[in-house]
Structure 1
Amino acid sequence: MNRWFMTLLASLGLLLIVSGCSTKKDEAPKDPKAAAYDFSNEKSFVVYGEGIAPVHTVSPAQAIVLAKRAAITDGYRQLGEKLYGVKINSSETVKDAMIRDSRITAQVNALIKDAAITDATFKDGLYSIRMEITMSARRWHELFSY
């Protein structure tokens, strides 16, 4: 009986040692819920805004400034869409089995802070910007875990 017990104990010990050595400490968690609470990195979003210079302006400088404002506004809108989503409303009027009127409206309501313009170019009347927002994963989770 004593020999049987010692053999069982030695087998369990060997099994624990082998299984403990085979697990990797640096491996990412396989559970998706655990990955959602990984606060070790940053989340980053990049968008590209574009604005066209108007034709009828007082000066070329005014056209460039207006195109730049349009590009920045487009960039903020795109960030708002990515972070908060878009609300879509639609309505249709049908008369005599035909569509008489169809309206679709898209709306974005967002508060964007700390977005940075990382690149800007103006070529052939088109102002293009690259806008980026970066936040810690912990802050991301606080804002968007609903």
Structure 2
Amino acid sequence: MMKLSCITLVALLLNGCSQMFDKHIEYASVKPDAFPMLYAVGMAPISLQPGASDSQKILLAMRASKLEAYRELAEQVYGQRIDSSNSLRAMVAGNDQFSTSVQGVIRGAKVIKTYAVDDAYITELELDFEQVYHLYQNVYPRQTIKSIHYY
């Protein structure tokens, strides 16, 4: 009987450490102090684009310069992954391999200017992080605990 009482007492003590009370957690939004503005420029040669006519080449250069500008923005936001390998044989450099990649999602970028200069097509983009913050707040709100009330 004494053994059963001790087990019951230990069980009650361990249960006391668990959450026996209902609680209400109040959250407050956390807004960053500053929002950077990022700029990117993409360029593409017009004459090197495949196409039967000059207008097709210009359209392809427009698209290529825009994609290049987005790549540059993604590079600024997410960074660039660099993979490299080098082999040595008898203290002489052999195979050098080097590759880079950028991966990410850019939301809220604006095309500021798009224009042709000589044989190149240029696209300028702008990314306002305040707008990006508001876009992500709707989906993934950043919050901190404001207060906890136990009942």
| Greater helix proportion | 1
Please tell me the root mean square deviation across aligned C-alpha atoms, in Å.
2.7
Structure 2 equivalent of residue 61 of structure 1:
55
Structure 1 range deviating more: 131-140 or 120-129: 131-140
Structure 2 equivalent of residue 45 of structure 1:
38
Matches within 5 A, 1:14-25: none
Matches within 5 A, 1:114-133: 114-133=108-127
| Greater strand proportion | 2
Pair 56,40 (structure 1): closer, same or farther in 2 beyond 3 Å: closer
TM-score, normalization by structure 1: 0.64
Paired with 1:49 and 1:88, the residues of 2 have a C-alpha distance of 21
Q: In the alignment, residue 39 of structure 2 is paired with which amino acid?
A: V
Structure 1 equivalent of residue 19 of structure 2:
none
Paired with 1:138 and 1:65, the residues of 2 have a C-alpha distance of 29
Structure 1 residue 135 displacement after superposition: 2.5
CA contact (8 A) 1:43 1:137 kept: no
Structure 1 residue 41 displacement after superposition: 5.1
CA contact (8 A) 2:42 2:65 kept: yes
1:81 aligned residue (53, 75, 79): 75
Look up the SS of the partner of 1:131 in the other structure: strand
Look up the SS of the partner of 2:106 in the other structure: coil
Paired with 1:73 and 1:113, the residues of 2 have a C-alpha distance of 14
Structure 1 equivalent of residue 90 of structure 2:
96
Look up the SS of the partner of 1:102 in the other structure: strand
Structure 1 equivalent of residue 16 of structure 2:
none
Look up the SS of the partner of 1:69 in the other structure: helix
Q: In the alignment, residue 77 of structure 1 is paired with which amino acid?
A: R
TM-score, normalization by structure 2: 0.62
CA contact (8 A) 1:39 1:138 kept: no
Unaligned stretches of 5+ in structure 1?
1-36
Higher relative contact order (CA 8 A, sep 6+): 2
Structure 1 residue 39 displacement after superposition: 3.7
